[in-house]
Every structure is written in structure tokens, then in C-alpha cells.
Amino acid sequence: MRINCRTWFGREPQSSWRNSLRLSTCVAGLLPVLLAAGAASSILEMSPPISGLTLANLRDSFEEVHNGHRHEAIDIQAPRGTPVHAVVSGTVRKLFLSKPGGNTIYEFDEMEVYCYYYAHLDGYVKGLHEGMRVERGDVIGYVGSTGNADPSAPHLHFTIFDLGPEKLWWKGEAVDPYPGLVAAVKRAK
């Protein structure tokens, strides 16, 4: 079915129930387009997770094999204790201490389409808690080497997950963060 909202709005008013039905059909047809535009903007509008990040600091390691499995992330080397910033505005969905990731943060974007994952953190900013709203650029944690990271090589392990319809932080499909981070660094200059 092709929806032509322009044609509908140009017509003379008919019965109110017909107008309501046509308007509902127009909105229903446009809603997926608007939602898709909003979802994409989360990655397209990311800011760097570490201040002063340059293109030289980024290396796409998404497809590399680490510890027997595909990495599906990018590691950003930085001194221990360097502030880590939220790359988008959204909600802290989960704070988690895991054997491989150490201190981690799972942040959902505002549309709950993508989850941004920050791992190997030395710690969280004081007061950070699950369910907390954060704005893009807010300090949320600090670079470290917790979990299975080499203690002599502190870094931020960062990835993006497409949440899918279930919106479960532990089941998303990994998306290569490298292109989004490159664009974020270029915009930050």
C-alpha cells in the first residue's frame, strides 16, 4: 500500500471518521521511517569516549580473534584513570563485573535500538547507577585493565550492540564501532 499524505492533506474535509482514518494511516506509514532515522542518528551522532582522541589512536580490531573468539570491539589505549565519556545520551542499563570484561557499563541509546558497551574500566564515576540517564559527553567511568585485560596495558574496550526487538543487553548483535568512532573524532576537531 502506498501512502500519499500530501494528497490527503490537500483534499477537502470529508466525514471526521474518514479524516481520522486517513491521518492514522499516514502516521502509521511514516512512523517506521521516523524511527529508523532516529535509530541511525545514535551512531551517527556519537562523540568520542575519550577526550583528545585522534585517528591515530584508533585501530579497527573488530574482526580480529582475541582469546579464541572474534573481538567484535575496538580497544582504545589510554592511561589508567583517563575519564571515559558517554558517547550518546541514554540510560545506563547495566553495571556489571565480569571475569572477561571486568567493570563494565551497558548504556542504551534514547530509542533503545543500540547498546554501547564500555569494559575493563578501573571504576565508575561516583553516583553512577543502573537506570540513570546520562548525556552525551558525561563522564561515566575511568580507563583501566580489569577483567582479562593485561594489567600493563590499560585500555577502553568499546563496542556497539544492535539490540533487536528483545532489547536484552546481553543478546545484542555486535556492530563494528570503528567507522562511527572515526566520524566522531573528525567531528570533534
pLDDT at 182 over 60: yes
pLDDT at 51 over 90: yes
Q: pLDDT tier at 41 (50, 70, 90 boundaries)? A: low
Q: Answer yes or no: CATH 1.20.120.140 is held by domain 45-188.
A: no
pLDDT at 46 over 60: yes
pLDDT at 10 over 60: no
The tens digit of pLDDT for each residue in 92-116 reads 999 999 999 999 999 999 999 999 9
Residue 137: its pLDDT value, please?
Answer: 97
pTM of the model: 0.78
State whether the Cα torsion 133-173-99-88 is positive or negative: negative
Determine which helix (DSSP H) or strand (DSSP E) holds 22, and give its type and residue range.
helix 16-44
For residue 61, CA distances in Å to 30, 75, 158 come to 37, 7, 11
The tens digit of pLDDT for each residue in 138-169 reads 999 999 999 999 999 999 999 999 999 999 88
List, in order, residues 6 or more apart from 157 with CB less than 8 Å away.
73, 74, 75, 101, 117, 118, 119, 120, 149
Q: Would you say 145 and 8 are in contact if contact means Cβ atoms under 8 Å apart?
A: no
Residue 40: its pLDDT value, please?
Answer: 54
Q: How many CB atoms lie within 10 A of CB 138?
A: 15
- Delimit the CATH 2.70.70.10 region(s) of the chain: 45-188
- How high is the mean pLDDT of the chain? 84
Tell me the average pLDDT across 50-71. Answer: 91
